[in-house]
């Protein structure tokens, strides 16, 4: 009886060890396309947030701005400063964040007024869509926060379910995010973009 008990316990332990080893299988890091030189992107009318736009992978994947209609002004920190109408501009931040403002694995669009904005952002209708993942939803921001209040910041998020942290590359490949502020549209392409 002691021998059967020993064999039974040993078998159970072996099964548990095999299960724990199988569930802890490491996922290999995928190959990332090399960054495209800023000069090449600019020739195609595309603006990255910085020269090293892939340096923060896999915690942040910043999208690139497509400068249609010559609406790009400057990079303002981690925002694209873009023209809106004839006499104003807004700051727009677009990308994927592993963690952002208490959310995990989300596409993020943050829009704010800049110091030269003449038209209040709160008067605009804002709609954001991902070509692969659908509509973003607006998230309430703390309006007691100085920057949120004075810049009339609007945060929109789009959660993306992932199998592992590297799965995001497949999820954003060929994705295009369109930010509509009233009748003005701004287009952002994923950082894994391949130029043709």
Handedness of CA 162, 190, 78, 87 (dihedral sign): negative
Q: Hey, what are 85's tokens?
A: 């109408």
How distant is the alpha carbon of residue 18 from its chain centre? 37
Q: How far is CA 167 from CA 16, 21, 25, 90, in A?
A: 28, 21, 15, 32
The DSSP annotation for 134-169 comes to EE-EEE---TTSHHHHHTT-EEEEEE---SSGGGHH
How distant is the alpha carbon of residue 20 from its chain centre? 33
Q: How far is CA 56 from CA 66, 90, 113, 175, 191, in A?
A: 21, 24, 26, 19, 11
Is residue 33 within 8 Å of residue 154, measured between CB atoms?
no
Q: How many Å apart are CA 186 and CA 191, to the nearest integer?
A: 16
- pLDDT, tens only, 147-181: 777 789 899 999 999 999 999 999 999 999 999 99
**pLDDT averaged over every residue in the chain:** 88
Question: Among 173, 130, 160, which Cα is nearest to 30's?
Answer: 173
- pLDDT, tens only, 129-155: 999 999 999 998 777 777 777 789 899
What is residue 140's predicted lDDT score, i.e. its pLDDT?
A: 86
- pLDDT, tens only, 63-114: 999 999 999 999 999 999 999 988 899 999 999 999 998 999 999 999 999 8
Is residue 176 within 8 Å of residue 130, measured between CB atoms?
yes
């Amino acid at each position: 009886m002691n021998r059967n008990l020993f064999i039974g316990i040993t078998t159970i332990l072996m099964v548990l060890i095999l299960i724990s080893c199988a569930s802890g299988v490491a996922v290999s890091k995928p190959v990332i396309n090399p960054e495209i030189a800023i000069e090449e992107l600019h020739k195609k009318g595309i603006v990255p947030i910085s020269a090293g736009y892939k340096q923060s992978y896999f915690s942040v994947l910043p999208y690139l701005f497509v400068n249609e209609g010559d609406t790009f002004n400057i990079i303002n920190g981690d925002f694209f400063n873009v023209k809106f109408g004839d006499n104003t501009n807004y700051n727009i931040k677009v990308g994927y964040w592993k963690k952002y403002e208490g959310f995990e694995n989300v596409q993020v669009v943050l829009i704010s007024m800049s110091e030269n904005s003449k038209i209040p952002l709160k008067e605009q209708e804002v709609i954001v869509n991902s070509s692969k993942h659908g509509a973003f939803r607006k998230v309430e921001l703390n309006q007691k926060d100085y920057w949120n209040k004075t810049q009339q910041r609007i945060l929109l998020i789009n959660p993306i379910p992932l199998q592992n942290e590297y799965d995001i590359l497949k999820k954003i490949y060929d994705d295009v995010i369109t930010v509509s502020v009233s009748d003005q549209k701004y287009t952002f392409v994923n950082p894994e973009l391949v130029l043709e």
